[in-house]
Amino acid sequence: MFDKDWITNELKADPASSFQTAFTHRSYLNESSKQEESNERLEFLGDSILSFIISSYLYKIRPGDAEGDLTNLRSYLVKTPSLAKAAKKLDLGTKLRLSKGEELSGGRENIQLLANTYEALIGAIYIEKGLEEAKQFVHETLLPLFKDEVISGPPKDAKSELQEISQNLTKQSPTYKILKTQGPDHARQFTIGVFLQGKQLGEGQGLSKQVAEEEAARKALEQLNSEKILAVDEPT
């Protein structure tokens, strides 16, 4: 039911509906003469609804999981790359209303914008169609992409792996610090460093803190694996 054509038909059916708002990036408003709203409020709503839908689903199908395991799996399913993958399958980027500058900078392929739009679309479906249809949308467009992970659990990400190694080495957890931000508000680029006992282990960049932290952790693991990292102090 929920495919590219369904979305196109909903946009055509009522140009003033929440569906149109779901695809309106705030950069577009700077070049529009109309008084319109960006998709940010719908994204906020959709984020909460998505969390509820995924939490309810995992609670029912994984009765033996502890709270921490359910949280980790939910986090994997709703993280930016996962939502962007679903958004790309639906071609959401082609329907985004962007400023000319955002378009030229690759906004239609930007995984953060795609993930945000997916959440905004959930919010629009909830407003226009109700919770059950929003639930069906998630079950049809997101969960089938991660069948193996839902059954066996999420693959270990770089941050989790670095956390385990750090605990084994020093009994301490790595910390993440923003080193630099650049770019306009709607396309903010974060540079984040990961530190252990005051020493920087890696650095990453991304259009969200989550992506930049994951990249920093991955770089730290590469250095540890190649034994190029300076030795950390042994715990006393």
pLDDT digits (tens, 9 = 90+) for 113-151: 999 999 999 999 999 999 999 999 999 999 999 999 999
pTM: 0.75
Instruction: Examine the residue annotation and report whether 119 is marked as an active-site residue of this protein.
Output: yes
Nearest to 61 by CA among 122, 139, 145: 139
Specify the CATH number of the domain 158-226: 3.30.160.20
The active-site residue out of 47, 213, 214, 215 is 47
pLDDT, residue 14, reads 85
Find out whether 121 and 2 touch, Cβ atoms under 8 Å.
no
SS3 203: strand
pLDDT, residue 148, reads 93
Domains 4-152 and 158-226 are alike in CATH topology: no
pLDDT, residue 151, reads 92
Q: Which residues of the chain have pLDDT under 70?
A: 186, 227-236
pLDDT, residue 210, reads 86
The active-site residue out of 119, 213, 214, 215 is 119
Distance CA 162, CA 194 (A): 10
Distance CA 99, CA 162 (A): 39
pLDDT, residue 160, reads 86
Nearest to 115 by CA among 216, 213, 206: 206
Domains of the chain, by residue range, sit at 4-152, 158-226
**Which CATH homologous superfamily contains domain 4-152?**
Ribonuclease III domain (1.10.1520.10)
